[in-house]
Amino acid sequence: MKKILLAEDEMVLSEPISDLLTAIFPVEVLVAQDGAEAITMAQEHLPDLILMDLNLPKIDGWEATRSLRGNALFQHTPILAISAHAMADERQRALQAGCNAFYSKPIDIDDFIEFVRPYLA
């Protein structure tokens, strides 16, 4: 069973996303509520995929991604940015920080499943 780390500080979003992922895919979802916790949990659990909100407390998603990419353990781990801020510069900053792809909130269920699916194959 693959592990997904979901870094999302809004419980109103993290619970439905987690429920959706576990209903569709054979995965375990771990939830971090801030960027510092995301880094710690990634190091402890070595997830197969990281879903990174960019607007996180303590350490934002851009910095958390850069930190993880600086660790050899996460050089090839897919990190997918998820943000309500869909401006082109945010998308570009996420990719420059080391994210593999960018998904703009709000989440459309079918669209999101197809967005995540290739990274869980």
- Digit-by-digit pLDDT tens for the chain (121 residues) are 999 999 999 989 899 999 999 999 999 999 999 999 999 999 999 999 999 999 999 999 999 999 999 999 999 999 999 998 767 788 899 999 999 999 998 999 999 999 999 999 8
pLDDT at 89: 85
pLDDT at 88: 73
pLDDT at 90: 85
CB–CB of 103/82 below 8 Å? yes
pLDDT at 103: 96
Reported pTM: 0.96
Looking up residue 62, the CATH number of its domain turns out to be 3.40.50.2300
Residues in the chain, how many? 121
Q: How far is CA 112 from CA 3, 24, 73, 75, in A?
A: 17, 11, 26, 24
Task: Note down the domain range covering 19.
Answer: 2-120
CB–CB of 51/7 below 8 Å? yes
Q: What's the total number of domains in the chain?
A: 1
Rounded to a whole number, what is the largest CA-CA distance in the chain? 35
